[in-house]
Amino acid sequence: MLGMTAITPRAPNCSPDSFRLQSVTPKGKERDEREYVINRHASTGGIQRFKAGHHGAEHKLGAMIAYVQQEKRTFWNTRVAEWIKELVELDQPGWTVEDQLHLEHDDDTLQLAVFSSSHTRKNGLPGIELRHLWVEMN
């Protein structure tokens, strides 16, 4: 599950977003456990917002920060990969295998992982590369 909090871009060429990764989705009719990737009720999923141009429309590089509050980084890496794979298999418009996250760095001492992902976008927007920083807080 992902609780979302958008944050204002600090760097001129980067658009960031932050999330909480926890096993139980907070209650609410507009919530979706897959919110880091997509929200079936609205266009408020994390990666979904960048793909749609709701965040970082004028940027080619974006960032997402996840605070891992339950489970471990490896659990969420598997979970997010499954969600994206499911979107591709269900022929969800705009989702392809290229949307998967790729592990760049994992540090058990610091309890953090860095991923990258590349995404195509609609409406004439250029593709966007996302950097994902996952920090364990549990």
45 band by pLDDT with thresholds 50, 70 and 90: confident
Q: How many CB atoms lie within 10 A of CB 9?
A: 17
pLDDT at 50 over 70: yes
**Cβ–Cβ under 8 Å, residues 1 and 33:** yes
pTM: 0.80
Taking the C-alpha atoms of residue 11 and residue 2, their distance in angstroms, rounded to an integer, is 24
| The pLDDT of residue 88 | 97
Q: What residue has token string 């269900």?
A: 90
The per-residue pLDDT for range 55-103, each reduced to its tens digit, is 889 899 999 998 888 899 999 999 999 999 999 999 999 999 999 999 9
